[in-house]
Amino acid sequence: MVASMVTLRTEAGSSFDAYLARPERPNGAGVVVLQEIFGVNANMRSVADALAAAGFTAIVPDLFWRQQPGVELDSAADLERATELMKGLNLGLAVQDALWAANYVRTLDGANGKVGAVGYCLGGKLAYLLSMKAGVDAAASYYGVGIQGALDQMGAVRCPLMLHIAEEDQLCPPEAQAAIERAAEPHSNRVEVLRYPGVGHAFARLGSPVFDQQSAERADTVTSELFRTHLVGAA
């Protein structure tokens, strides 16, 4: 695996950075990794590295670059600053930035043209929104924050979408979980909701006090299968 920072350019001529992890034996597919509220930190880079180890070209765009480029926060000590950055984020622009990242990996040597998206927390909401966009071929959302407030858009999902829901997530209470399942049910040919009992928000974040290995491995396994089926097998 080879890792580096790369520069992405928008249509308006602005530029921002992204962490790129390239596999030794690429399978041709790309995956955009969408950050939590803590920026492109060690945890997000480790997600990209794991995807690269599995053959995917993974890219983590800096979605806070308009507010503060290069943000890399600790999940415990920097919660207040991370929350400020999340509140200041324009979701529409963040989705567009993620699409620039998808376009970038699609043009790399050996790419098969298929790109997926996986997001966590804030990034989980963005993965949901990206599943509605052309150029994203599969998406997975881990405990996405605020999806319950955008359920009227569920019908716009264009690609296979997996929603990982932590049953003890304080940011997505039981009534919100039920609403997500009801909204997804008519679109079960594209949207799959998976519940994880007994675990809370950020259950898949390595090093977190709430990390749950069994649930994380289950979620990661089915997410990998989703990407292999729709990004590699469908190429």
Catalytic residue among 201, 212, 220, 230: 201
Catalytic residue check, 201? yes
| Residue whose structure tokens are 């097998």 | 233
- Side chain identity at 187, as an amino acid letter? H
Catalytic residue among 97, 169, 212, 220: 169
For the chain, the straight-line distance linking the first and the last C-alpha, in angstroms and rounded, comes to 22
Catalytic residue check, 137? no
Neighbour-count burial of 76, counting CB atoms closer than 10 A to its CB (0-12 exposed, 13-18 middle, 19+ buried): exposed
- Side chain identity at 81, as an amino acid letter? R
Residue 84's contacts (CB-CB under 8 Å, 6 or more residues apart) are none
- Contact at 8 Å (CB) between 34 and 117? yes
Distance from the Cα of residue 138 to its chain's centroid: 11
Strands of the sheet containing 161-166, edge to edge, are 2-9, 15-22, 57-61, 30-34, 115-120, 138-142, 161-166, 191-196
Enzyme catalytic residues: 169, 201
